[in-house]
Amino acid sequence: MNKNISPVEMKRIKVSMELAEAIKNVLMKRNITRTQFAKMMGQDKKVISVWLSGTYNFNLGTLYEIVDRLGLM
């Protein structure tokens, strides 16, 4: 663990990685490819790759769109 990273930042990183993993799991269970997901979201595949890398700092609007487009709520 890097001592220069605050506990709050470590938590944010952990949550971002967990969100990315959860999205990947939904896509896999529904047999949705990254290309299909990109089209669903109106995004380039490169953006989807960043989202699914676990390093993206999701904002509420992006999370809402993902949940809505995947029909999770």
With pLDDT > 70 as the criterion, what percentage of the chain qualifies? Answer: 97
d(CA 41, CA 45): 10
> Can you tell me whether residue 45 is helix, strand or coil?
helix
pLDDT at 5 over 90: no
Band of residue 69 on the pLDDT scale cut at 50, 70, 90: very high
The model carries a pTM of 0.86
pLDDT at 1 over 60: no
pLDDT single digits (tens) 32-65: 999 999 999 999 999 999 999 998 989 999 999 9
- 4: DSSP letter: T
Given a contact cutoff of 8 angstroms between Cβ atoms, the answer to whether 12 and 58 are in contact is no
Distances (CA, A) of 2 to 6, 14, 35, 50, 56: 9, 14, 35, 22, 19
DSSP 70: T
